[in-house]
Amino acid sequence: MREAIFEIDELRFAWPGSSTLCLDIDALRVAKGETLFLFGPSGCGKSTLLALIAGVLLPQHGRVRLDGRDWADMPAARRDRYRVDRVGYIFQQFNLLPYLSVRHNVLAPCRFSTTRRQSAVQQYGSEAAAVAYWLDGMGLSSTLWDRPARDLSVGQQQRVAAARALIGKPALVIADEPTSALDEQRRDDFLDLLLSACRTADSALVFVSHDLRTAERFERAVAVPQINRASMDNEAWA
């Protein structure tokens, strides 16, 4: 059995001010390099679960460990540093800095993480070479690299967000419904690029989607409602 990149044990989470649990999960484990597809209807807790995996939220009970370290054992500033060192996050709305160039958006993790910067330089010789590798790998023309992110199409911004998440070989890549705005062909092309890039970086991938047609591309698929014992009609779910 491969070593775990993250593990959840006896997780219980309720939003502040609520007495009702929105997540109640006994266990979830993802191995290093594994690809996991998470699915379920809107409101079943998928995005909340991703935030807990990434240490953005902390549970009221239980343990969430990333690469052997419990998020709850770290002060807030240390969690932030550990997150940028170890996690690449592809947000549903991409969260690019619109006024920055494509190149500088991709470089952002290296600006905040010495670990990611050193990994990128060690692997490709320089930060610039690492940016070029991942943007080339995402099929984004070099004529776009110095343009502000706001000038790109949705599909192009998506590829920039993926390159940003992958630079510096994070141990875990989290993708929160990044293909929801794409047609079928663009969705499949993006998945080809993302899965190949994660294999190249040896990064585990946790991918959330409503689209079950893509589940077969992943090593394992998990329905969030099947592992979450909390009430399905709780309106606080996210």
Angle subtended at Cα 121 by Cα 202 and Cα 146, rounded to the nearest 5 degrees: 100
Q: Is residue 55 part of a domain?
A: yes
Q: How many CB atoms lie within 10 A of CB 145?
A: 18
Q: How far apart are CA 101 and CA 91, in angstroms?
A: 18
The DSSP annotation for 166-234 comes to: HTT--SEEEEESTTTTS-HHHHHHHHHHHHHHHHHHT-EEEEE-S-GGGGGGSSEEEEHHHHB-S-TT-
Over residues 52-80, the pLDDT tens digits come to 999 999 999 999 999 999 999 999 999 99
Is the whole-model pTM more than 0.85? yes
**Residue 188 included in any domain:** yes
Residue 235 lies in a domain: no
In a domain, 26, yes or no: yes
Confidence of residue 182 (pLDDT cuts 50, 70, 90): confident
**Domain that residue 46 falls in:** 4-227
| CA quadruple 219, 165, 225, 184: dihedral, nearest 10 | -70
Within-domain flag for 128: yes
- The enclosing H or E element of 111 equals helix 102-112
What is the per-residue DSSP string for 123-153?
A: HHSSHHHHHHHHHHHTT--GGGTTSBGGGS-
Q: Residue 168 belongs to a domain with what CATH number? A: 3.40.50.300
- Residue at 48 is within a domain: yes
Total number of domains in the chain? 1
Residues 15-61: tens digit of each pLDDT: 988 888 999 999 999 999 999 999 998 888 899 999 999 999 999 99
Task: Confirm whether 238 is domain-assigned.
Answer: no
Instruction: State the residue for tokens 């993480």.
Output: 113
Q: What does residue 194 show for φ and ψ, rounded to 5 degrees?
A: -65, -45
Q: How far apart are CA 219 and CA 28, in angstroms?
A: 15
pLDDT of 27 reads 96
- Would 137 be classed as within a structural domain? yes
pLDDT at 234 over 80: no
Determine the pLDDT at residue 207: 96
